[in-house]
Amino acid sequence: MPLPLCPFVPLFDNMNITLTSGKSVSCAPNTSILESLKKAGIFLTSSCGGKGTCGKCRIIIKSGRSDIRSKMKLSKEEIKEGYSLACKTYPSGDMLIDIPKESMLTVEGQIDTGKSRDFLALLHSAGADLDPLAGRIVLQLPRPSLDDNISDLERLKRELFANGLGCLRVPFRFMTHLAAIVREKNWEITLATIHSEDCYEITNIFPGNKKIPQYGIAVDIGTTTLVVYLTDLTNGALIDIASTYNSQIRFGDDVITRIVNATEHNELGNLKRAVTEDINNMISLLCQTHNISTDTIDCIVVAGNTTMTHFFLGLDPSAIREEPYIPTANTFPLSHAGELGIKTNPNIPVYAFPCVSSYVGGDIVAGVLATRIHKKNELSIFIDIGTNGEIVLGSSEWLMSAACSAGPCFEGSGMKHGMRATDGAIEGVKINCDTLEVEIKVIGKNIQPVGICGSGMIDAIAEMFLTGILNQKGKLQKDRSDRVRTGENGPEFVVHYGRDKDIVLTEPDVENIIRAKAAIYAGFSTLLNEAGLTFDDVHKVYIAGGFGKFLDIEKAIILGLLPELPKDKFEYMGNTSVIGTYLCILSRKMRAEAEDIARKITYIELSVSKSFMDEYVSGLFIPHTNIDAFPNVKALIGR
Ligand code: FES
Count other Cβ atoms within 10 Å, centred on residue 144.
Answer: 15
The arithmetic mean of pLDDT across residues 71-93, rounded, is 89
Which residue among 32, 36, 38, 46 is best mutated to probe the pocket of ligand 1, counting the most ligand atoms within 8 A of its Cβ? 46
Query: How many A from CA of 44 to the centre of ligand 1?
Result: 9
Residue 244: its pLDDT value, please? 84
Residue 323: its pLDDT value, please? 86
376-408+513-638: CATH architecture: 2-Layer Sandwich (3.30)
| Range from 18-22, 87-91, 101-105, 242-246 carrying the lowest mean pLDDT | 101-105
Of ligand 1's atoms, which has the minimum distance to the CA of residue 88? 1
- What's the CATH class of domain 133-207? alpha beta
Query: How many A from CA of 51 to the centre of ligand 1?
Result: 6
Which residue among 45, 53, 244 is best mutated to probe the pocket of ligand 1, counting the most ligand atoms within 8 A of its Cβ? 53
Percentage of the chain with pLDDT > 70? Answer: 96
Query: How many A from CA of 85 to the centre of ligand 1?
Result: 6
The arithmetic mean of pLDDT across residues 69-79, rounded, is 85
Residue-wise pLDDT for 577-610, tens only, equals 999 999 999 999 999 999 999 999 999 988 788 8
Of ligand 1's atoms, which has the minimum distance to the CA of residue 57? 1
Query: How many A from CA of 9 to the centre of ligand 1?
Result: 21
**pLDDT band with cut points at 50, 70 and 90 for residue 111:** low
Cα–Cα–Cα angle for 294, 298, 304, rounded to 5 degrees = 95
Query: How many A from CA of 248 to the centre of ligand 1?
Result: 12
Residue-wise pLDDT for 353-389, tens only, equals 999 999 999 999 999 999 999 999 999 999 998 778 8
Residue 113: its pLDDT value, please? 65
**pLDDT band with cut points at 50, 70 and 90 for residue 548:** low
Residue 366: its pLDDT value, please? 97
- Ranges in the chain annotated CATH 3.10.20.880: 133-207
Does the pLDDT at position 5 exceed 50?
no
Residue 112: its pLDDT value, please? 64
Residue 245: its pLDDT value, please? 81
**pLDDT band with cut points at 50, 70 and 90 for residue 171:** confident
Give the dihedral sign, CA 370/217/408/555.
Answer: positive
**pLDDT band with cut points at 50, 70 and 90 for residue 463:** very high
E strands within 432-483?
438-442, 451-452
Query: How many A from CA of 67 to the centre of ligand 1?
Result: 16
Of ligand 1's atoms, which has the minimum distance to the CA of residue 45? 4
The arithmetic mean of pLDDT across residues 236-259, rounded, is 86
E strands within 488-534?
490-496, 503-506
Residue 290: its pLDDT value, please? 92
- Ranges in the chain annotated CATH 3.30.420.480: 215-352
Query: How many A from CA of 50 to the centre of ligand 1?
Result: 4
The arithmetic mean of pLDDT across residues 175-199, rounded, is 89
Of ligand 1's atoms, which has the minimum distance to the CA of residue 250? 2
- What's the CATH class of domain 215-352? alpha beta
Query: How many A from CA of 29 to the centre of ligand 1?
Result: 20
Query: How many A from CA of 57 to the centre of ligand 1?
Result: 5
Of ligand 1's atoms, which has the minimum distance to the CA of residue 51? 2
Query: How many A from CA of 102 to the centre of ligand 1?
Result: 13
Does the pLDDT at position 106 exceed 80?
no
Residue 426: its pLDDT value, please? 93
Does the pLDDT at position 11 exceed 60?
no
Q: In whole angstroms, what is the distance from residue 380 CA to residue 538 CA?
A: 6
Which of 221, 466, 250 lies closest to 352 in space, CA to CA?
221
The arithmetic mean of pLDDT across residues 105-110, rounded, is 65
Residue-wise pLDDT for 498-545, tens only, equals 877 899 999 999 999 999 999 999 999 999 999 999 999 999 999 998
**pLDDT band with cut points at 50, 70 and 90 for residue 406:** confident
Query: How many A from CA of 104 to the centre of ligand 1?
Result: 12
Query: How many A from CA of 71 to the centre of ligand 1?
Result: 10
CB within 8 Å of 361: residues ≥ 6 apart:
303, 304, 305, 306, 307, 308, 309, 353, 355, 390
CA distances from 586 to 132, 196, 299, 368, 451 (A): 4, 15, 10, 17, 35
Of ligand 1's atoms, which has the minimum distance to the CA of residue 54? 2
Which residue among 32, 45, 48 is best mutated to probe the pocket of ligand 1, counting the most ligand atoms within 8 A of its Cβ? 48
Q: In whole angstroms, what is the distance from residue 511 CA to residue 8 CA?
A: 46
- Ranges in the chain annotated CATH 3.30.420.40: 376-408+513-638
Which residue has its alpha carbon closest to ligand 1 atom 3? 52
Residue type, 196: S
**pLDDT band with cut points at 50, 70 and 90 for residue 1:** very low
Of ligand 1's atoms, which has the minimum distance to the CA of residue 49? 4
Mean pLDDT over each residue of the chain, to the nearest integer: 89
Query: How many A from CA of 408 to the centre of ligand 1?
Result: 18
Of ligand 1's atoms, which has the minimum distance to the CA of residue 87? 1
Does the pLDDT at position 100 exceed 70?
yes
The string over 504-533, giving b where at least 16 C-beta atoms fall within 10 Å of a residue's C-beta and e elsewhere, is: bbbbbbbebbbbbbbbbbbbbbbbbebeee
The arithmetic mean of pLDDT across residues 294-309, rounded, is 96
Residue 9: its pLDDT value, please? 47
Query: How many A from CA of 105 to the centre of ligand 1?
Result: 13
| Between 609 and 284, the higher pLDDT residue | 284
Of ligand 1's atoms, which has the minimum distance to the CA of residue 73? 3
Q: How many Å from the N-terminal Cα to the C-terminal Cα in the chain?
A: 52
The string over 258-291, giving b where at least 16 C-beta atoms fall within 10 Å of a residue's C-beta and e elsewhere, is: bbebbbeeebbebbbbbbbbbbbbbbbbbbebee
Which residue among 32, 35, 57 is best mutated to probe the pocket of ligand 1, counting the most ligand atoms within 8 A of its Cβ? 57
- Ranges in the chain annotated CATH 3.10.20.30: 15-103
The arithmetic mean of pLDDT across residues 458-469, rounded, is 95
Query: How many A from CA of 75 to the centre of ligand 1?
Result: 15
Torsion, CA 340, CA 342, CA 348, CA 350, rounded to 10: -60
Which residue among 36, 42, 56, 71 is best mutated to probe the pocket of ligand 1, counting the most ligand atoms within 8 A of its Cβ? 56
Of ligand 1's atoms, which has the minimum distance to the CA of residue 85? 1
Of ligand 1's atoms, which has the minimum distance to the CA of residue 44? 4
E strands within 395-497?
399-405, 425-431, 438-442, 451-452, 484-487, 490-496
CATH of 15-103, one of 1.10.150.120, 3.30.450.20, 3.10.20.30, 3.90.1150.10: 3.10.20.30
Query: Which residues form the pocket of ligand 1, taking CB atoms under 6 Å from any ligand atom?
Result: 46-48, 50, 52-57, 85, 87
**pLDDT band with cut points at 50, 70 and 90 for residue 107:** low
Does the pLDDT at position 350 exceed 90?
yes
Angle between helices 268-289 and 306-313 (to 10 degrees): 90
Residue-wise pLDDT for 211-233, tens only, equals 999 999 999 999 888 999 999 99
Does the pLDDT at position 412 exceed 50?
yes
Does the pLDDT at position 549 exceed 70?
no
Does the pLDDT at position 159 exceed 50?
yes
Of ligand 1's atoms, which has the minimum distance to the CA of residue 50? 4
Query: How many A from CA of 42 to the centre of ligand 1?
Result: 15
The arithmetic mean of pLDDT across residues 481-490, rounded, is 92
Does the pLDDT at position 446 exceed 90?
no
